Structure 1
Amino acid sequence: MLRFTLFLFSFLVLSTSTDANSPAKSSEKGEHLKYVIHYGIVRGGKASLKLKSDKIDGKEVFHATLTGRTVGLFNTLYKVKDTYESYFDKETLLPVKAIRNIREGSYKRYNEVTFDREKNQINSQRSGIKDVPEGIHDILSAFYFARAYHFNSELEVGQVVKMQTYFSDEEFLLQFRFMGYEMVNSKIGTIKCYKFIPIVQTGRAFKDEDDMKIWISADANKVPVRVQFDLFLGSLRCDLTNFSDFSTSSLIKK
């Protein structure tokens, strides 16, 4: 179950501030978010997201790295260490390259995907070249884009944000429904948050479409504060424990 949770959590961890009218900035150093994952009262895992400037083929890009792994008893029973990386354009926020490095028990999977924007194609190390829709994202870049252009005070309750992504060597439609505002008590204080419900497929782990919830700070940072999963076997929660901003403002502003 924790393996499934870390997979889902990779959809949800974001770390940029957004402003609808200002350009992307590239002079700041970066930021780092840390999360702890609990199943009931038991601490089962932790996750970390780092964002920094980097270069691919001599071009400056943003580089996001998300890691999630088991700890304690969960690590003894079923060891998980997953890493997702995204390199994306500083102006368009569209991905140039994505990496998925999975280690779950005896299962291992590594794949790199590059994006050709002129041809609207991806090139996967595992499955080769495929045609894809224009503007498609990987999982991490999708959220940076969504927060830059969609997650803001103009959202209306009930509104659904949709984004087409490429994940685990297939296209995946990502959907979030805005549910309004809530105050969340967290390790870093009481925070006013946007509340979203990702629209998930029922039957395997979820009983209802609204069994997964995410709270994002309704401030200039707009970081995920809490992610909660109401599963068949109980409730599982991911909480922000530390937010380190190495600059006077976040890297991406739109």
Structure 2
Amino acid sequence: MQIFKSGSSSRYFVLVLALVVGLFHFLPVAAQARPLPFGPGEKLTYEIHWTFIHAGNAVLEVMPDTEVDGVPARYFRGTASTVPWVDKFYKVRDTMESWTDLDVTHSLRYVSDQNEGKYSKKAEIVFDPAARRTFRYIEGDLRHELEQPEHVFDPMSVLFAFRKEILFKTMRFGANVTDGKVSVVGESFVEDMETLKTPIGDIPCFRVRLDVRNLSGVFRKSPGAELIVWFSADSRRIPVKVRSKVVVGHFTLELVDYQPPTPVSAD
């Protein structure tokens, strides 16, 4: 049985591999100052399943704080990879890195390094908050320059901005997100609460349905497509599970390990 093949179907698979590190294009409109529920040292590990088959893994990490052009910055890193049996015919090793201000109110820089089969591409988005513009580079060459809203996020940091907010049933929210080529306003809705059974225990969660109308690729081409994310119903608001329904099948990302942030020294 041939599950994946070169061309569009395999590209759709790669898109879903990257869901956990790049397709959370939503957060509440009004952000209020409160302690961040994440910090350096936090690590979330996921298994990626196509229907019932374990096809890949993904990891999200909060790296040590750093600087971008002299500006103090938060640093986030995500990876997605296929498992060994998939590597034999379509090896994926993708990395995404994101830098924001310390309060995670806007992006400063975003880099994606795609290595998928024989295809590879390195893209970078440089954010200029003062000028409200972004500059997108491919392999070092400037390809796109866009005017942006005052507060705009890249596809990965918006997930962490989302986690700053307190969720409740019936909540609706939206945000500005860009991939450097286009900017969109995503919308989402907190549907209900459920308790999920995971390898690290039972976790009460909010079920959040994301509007896929502004998503490109396989979502735009799939009638009845859906994207649902479960966030833990505690102060951490961990993305515990992602489920998507698209034309090529059902994909699920499930949390299998969680490492909390490194305790802050009292010194």
TM-score (norm. length: structure 2): 0.80
Aligned mate of 1:101, from 110, 113, 123: 113
Give the aligned partner of residue 115 of structure 1.
127
Matches for 1:155-166 after TM superposition, within 5 Å: 155-157=168-170, 159-166=171-178
Partners of 1:193 and 1:217 within 8 A in 2: yes
Give the aligned partner of residue 212 of structure 1.
227
- Which structure is higher in RCO with an 8 Å CA cutoff and minimum separation 6? 1
Return 125-134 or 41-50, whichever deviates more. Answer: 125-134
Aligned mate of 1:240, from 243, 255, 258: 255
Q: Gapped runs of 5+ residues in structure 1? A: 250-254
Partners of 2:57 and 2:80 within 8 A in 1: yes
Distance 1:12 1:171, change over 3 A: closer
Give the aligned partner of residue 156 of structure 2.
140
Aligned mate of 2:238, from 223, 234, 242: 223
Distance 1:226 1:218, change over 3 A: same
Aligned mate of 2:206, from 191, 194, 201: 194
Residues of 1 paired with 2:189 and 2:36: CA distance?
26
Aligned mate of 2:53, from 24, 37, 42: 42
| SS of match in other structure, 2:17 | helix
Cα shift at 1:169:
2.5
Give the aligned partner of residue 67 of structure 1.
79
Give the aligned partner of residue 20 of structure 2.
9
Return 170-179 or 95-104, whichever deviates more. Answer: 170-179
Give the aligned partner of residue 32 of structure 1.
43
Which residue type is aligned with residue 222 of structure 1?
R
Taking only aligned residues, the RMSD between alpha carbons, in angstroms, comes to 2.6
Give the aligned partner of residue 252 of structure 1.
none
Which residue type is aligned with residue 244 of structure 1?
Q
Residues of 2 paired with 1:92 and 1:212: CA distance?
24
Which residue type is aligned with residue 73 of structure 2?
V
Do structure 1's residue 131 and structure 2's residue 147 form an aligned pair? yes
Cα shift at 1:146:
2.0
Residues of 1 paired with 2:104 and 2:52: CA distance?
42
| SS of match in other structure, 1:144 | helix
Cα shift at 1:70:
1.0
Q: Gapped runs of 5+ residues in structure 2? A: 1-11, 26-30
Which residue type is aligned with residue 2 of structure 1?
F
Cα shift at 1:79:
1.6
Question: Cα deviations across residues 145-193 of structure 1 (Å, max 9, x unaligned)?
Answer: 22213xx24x342x33211111153223332221111110011111100
Partners of 1:2 and 1:44 within 8 A in 2: no
Which residue type is aligned with residue 5 of structure 1?
V
TM-score (norm. length: structure 1): 0.84
